[in-house]
Amino acid sequence: MKLSQRVLSALLLISFILAATATSEMGLAADKVCKTRSDRFSGVCLSNNNCAIICQQFENFDSGHCEFDGAFRRCLCTKNC
C-alpha cells in the first residue's frame, strides 16, 4: 500500500509538471515578438526612449529599443507577431 501511494504521488507530480510546461509553451507562442532594424533612426542608439518614439510614430511598430548589432548599438523596432 505504501508503494502505491508513492507511485501515485509521483505520477501526480509529473502530470502537474507536464501541465505547467504545456501552458507556458502556449503562452510563449502567443507572445512572440518580431524585431527589425529601424529605417528612420540614424546614428548610434543611446536612448531606448528615442528609439521607441521613432518606431511608434514613424514606422508603425509597437515599441523599440537599443541593442548591439556588431560593434554598434542600433535601434530595433518591435511588435507582436
Q: The CATH number of the domain where 39 resides is what?
A: 3.30.30.10
Are residues 25 and 51 both part of a single domain?
no
Task: Provide the b/e sequence for 32-66 (b: ≥16 CB within 10 Å).
Answer: eeebeebeebeeebeeeeebbebbeeebebebbbb
50 and 61, same structural domain?
Answer: yes
56 and 42 part of one domain: yes
12: enclosing H helix or E strand: helix 2-30
pTM: 0.61
Q: What is the pLDDT along the chain (81 residues), one digit of tens a residue?
A: 566 777 667 666 566 666 665 555 555 556 899 999 999 999 999 999 999 999 999 999 999 999 998 889 999 999 999
Q: How far apart are CA 58 and CA 50, in angstroms?
A: 12
- Measured at the CA of 34, the angle between CA 41 and CA 67, to 5 degrees, comes to 45
Residue 70 has a pLDDT of 86
